[in-house]
Amino acid sequence: MSARAFQGLPPIVVEAITAFGLLDLCYGKEPVGVLRGQFLRVFEQLAERERRAALLPRKLHAALEDIRDRNVLPFPVRDALDGIGKEA
């Protein structure tokens, strides 16, 4: 989607649209009230995440943002998960 389509929207709204799916939001087969409720639930979850993150110490918050931005798990967790399902 073009960045111009999201111009002027708060970042949390853009994130909610991206998480929900713009095509699902615009062309979903459910009634508008159902779509609105589902979108609102996604938005509220993101807003709650931001509210909780604001309570964290600044260094911890920055570390979590870095992990989220890179979209990877931290290495101790990743290493622990790598062994799951490989036992034969």
Tell me 30's DSSP state. S
* pLDDT for position 47: 94
**In a structure prediction context, what are the per-residue pLDDT tens digits for the chain, which is 88 residues long?**
567 778 899 999 998 988 888 888 888 889 999 999 999 999 999 999 889 888 888 888 788 777 777 766 556 555 555 656 555 4
* pLDDT for position 68: 74
* pLDDT for position 34: 92
Instruction: Tell me the HSE value of 76 on the side-chain side, using a 13 A CA sphere.
Output: 0
- DSSP secondary structure of 31-75: -HHHHHHHHHHHHHHHHHHHHHHHTS-HHHHHHHHHHHHHT---H
* pLDDT for position 1: 55
29-7-23 Cα angle (round to 5): 15
